[in-house]
Amino acid sequence: MIDYSVWDHIEVSDDEDDTHPNIDTPSLFKWRHEARVERMDQFIKAGEDLEKGLAESKRKLTEAQKKTKNLSSSVTDDAKAELSKAQAEEKRLKKEERDWEKKLEDHRREEKKMPWNVDTLCKEGFSKSVMNVKPDVKEETEEQKEQKHKTFVEKYEKEIKHFGMMKRWDDSQKYLSDNPHLVCEETANYLVIMCIDLEVEEKKALMEQVAHQTIVMQFILELAKSLKVDPRGCFRQFFAKIKTADQQYQDAFNDELESFKERVRGRAKIRIERAMKEYEEEERQKRLGPGGLDPAEVYESLPEEMQKCFDEKDIAMLQTVITKLDPTEAKVHMKRCIDSGLWVPNSRADEGDDKEEDATYEELNKEMGEQKIE
């Protein structure tokens, strides 16, 4: 048989329907609740005081029993007197302990008789909180990122290029489903580089196709970042959203695609200009004469009469022009011509730089036979 009598004693303070019309019901419920909570706190405190008193009594009794045991082994008169006192104290403490136990038992019996209420009807069986906190990830250095990118590309370059050439949404989604490892930053970075390479090679249409796939990958990564999930777990959400013809989302995608293509063209232009400068510098280094001067630059700095001599390769004309110039100016121009390789003196001029310069200016007519102009 199940005893349901415990349900007959339930104290209800805040869910009664019938109250006097002149009484503010919410205030009444509040006062009743506060009074009940205060009574419960007082009762709980009384129980705690009883438990503390019983514990203190037990401690004193234990000490008295130890003292009695120690004195019982002594045979002196003083020890016997002390033993008698200790036994009396022990007897008193035992009686006090029984009194505390009786009071605590009465308190517990009274607790069982108390009506149940909303706070005592049930108790929490267990409480457990689990926080799924993402562990702190140590930020990678630039060298580690570069090595990670290099390793990934070496392993999956063929698959990345294949994805970059796709055109249809369904094909891209299926390919990423079959190759989820491609949904990552490394794939997006490689596709960006691939776009710039194609633009430099002037493969415009192919660049625009790969650019489309690049933005697809970047949108997936941004979606994963906003949802705080792994990109491999949300790329299907991107395709579902983009294929439902959400006009606002589609416009944002197209705007980003056009902006990206403009950035690619700008980067490609910068790369081409840099390559041209490097090529021109290499060609300039090849042109440098024995004195480290660029013949083209030296030629541009010469007077028009001297330029005409070199254009027509006319040594006699050059001789005439030099004689008309100021000796110091003529010497400077001839030295620059030699240092740049525009004028190649004969072997007798190899005895020394100063002698070479003087011979070039003062004995130009005597050395025409073996000299040449380039």
Per-residue pLDDT of the chain (374 residues; tens, 9 = 90+): 676 666 666 666 555 555 666 666 677 777 777 887 888 889 889 989 999 998 998 898 888 888 888 878 776 777 778 888 888 888 888 999 999 999 989 988 888 777 777 666 666 667 777 766 655 667 778 888 888 888 998 999 999 999 999 989 899 999 999 999 999 999 999 999 999 999 999 899 999 999 999 999 999 999 888 888 888 888 888 888 888 867 788 888 889 999 999 999 999 999 888 888 888 877 777 767 677 787 888 888 888 888 888 888 878 888 888 888 888 888 888 888 888 777 777 634 444 444 444 444 444 434 433 333 33
Amino acid 216: pLDDT: 92
Taking residue 128's Cβ as centre, other Cβ atoms within 10 Å add up to 4
Cα–Cα dist 270/275, whole Å: 9
Q: Which helix (H) or strand (E) holds 344?
A: strand 343-344
Amino acid 371: pLDDT: 37
Amino acid 41: pLDDT: 87
Amino acid 343: pLDDT: 75
Cα–Cα dist 277/207, whole Å: 24
Distances (CA, A) of 73 to 84, 120, 180, 339: 13, 54, 86, 123
| Close Cβ partners of 140 (under 8 Å, ≥ 6 residues apart) | 148
